[in-house]
Structure 1
């Protein structure tokens, strides 16, 4: 390999989603004696935990949650990607209540209130390996308000707000240069098989209306048109493109069709060359109609085109444009972009 490159397997935390949430805990406390006033209440949250609930589609139906009871004949998920549709939050509110008794002495009592809440994710998050999913709590904030309607009743409202960060521990092979890197032209996109995702977008790509699909040509595929009546797109910037050098884009595509329902869309594969300031220097593209695709993968090629003078980078993009009555989506897999003959 060039420059002493070696391939190393590393484990990386990939953030697949982030959402804000809150829990309101209300209760009435009856102190052991008459209270003239509540001086203050100190509140902390303990044992705050989050449990994801998984579901996933299969060819036969819908997979059970890994925590659910599995009955004979139920579809099995195996190693398919799964969706996190809901997160169950639970924890304990620990309170230190300081009050003034009838003799004007400051007294103290404590209490623990357990709570649970289910947070629904919309849209759901797709993960590849549910057993490697971790959920972290960030920016946890606690506020308390109280009232003393009677000397023997303390009404309290505790608001707990937080941010949930959903992380999937993923193993990736990365190129390592023990002797350092030498400046050279980029290798472009080498056989992108869409196995690594951040949320609903492949790593290093920008996406709209895209999601992973388990029926790839090799492994997974990128599905354009998860909502088939809305436009979809994927794009990726490729740096260090050399002017005067011929580049080529190849990819495999197929359609996801609903029997007896209309299928009418176009898929445009485009290479846009840019100068150092980000201004276009040239564009080459190929338009594919839904009639050219079927449920079997077919390879397409945007033939080698020399990058114009002044080119410094390129944007490789795929644009899905449906008619309002369209019910089909397009799958992409095994995308390659680079110099011709390299």
Structure 2
């Protein structure tokens, strides 16, 4: 399943309130831990020191200031969340980091024995945020941090006195859980089933204008249909002029999918001195999210290949849609040659996704 995808919303959408963590600030805290310890016996040298940070905690420090002072500083996308606050607002300005540096000191005594000695050094560090942040609720604010990094150096000052300097680095994030509304999108299907076209049988017309299709003036409905009550006839006004009918799909069009366009066509022969000299061009064109055409497929069918006594099915396959595809255009164009007198009828068009893999 893809991490993200483009979803063209219907007229109504469902929204759900959820709580999400919002990062308000991110800081690097460096704590210097300096200690001198007396070993339990005389030592020739310190072999090594193992250490880890235990009981690490980080707490935000709040102050309360006038909301009038802070409201202009709040990011635009969050301003409406603070509109209900009057008087004072909580502001996080500092962070207190505390913990214990636990050390296991391994040394060599005068008998050349390796011994170890444990030491716990508590530490606390308060830092100022570079940019203080107003918050909605103090109880929803927390400080997150990954595993800290540290480094320890040491010097055996005398045979039993050990001086150590530890540097602890903690990357902290100040996070507030805030409630927002999100739009619920359907789970993206690899290939949504069914025909992606609206009114594929050309049943809906307003006079000579198809309601769900775009068309030139040289297109009109006909009752000589394969199924239903109507079909579309191209070249009906002037068989010697070009005609086109088309539809754009913004739903379920995506890259790396296989699509199939099928349609039924029939030639209409003129009753007097018929001349059959035209091509029917079927096209599928893909466009990116900016409306720029990026690729497509085309099939040109000569009039000699279209029967004049019954409908015949034709198919145009698109093995893979191009990268960046977001919308698709299905278009049929009637291109007559000089002297043509016949027209062509279309019915039962289908544009389906038949396979592929998401990018």
Scaled to the shorter chain, the TM-score interval is 0.3 to 0.5
Q: Please, what TM-score do these two structures have when normalized by structure 2?
A: 0.44
Could you say which structure has the higher strand fraction?
Answer: 1
Q: Please, what TM-score do these two structures have when normalized by structure 1?
A: 0.46
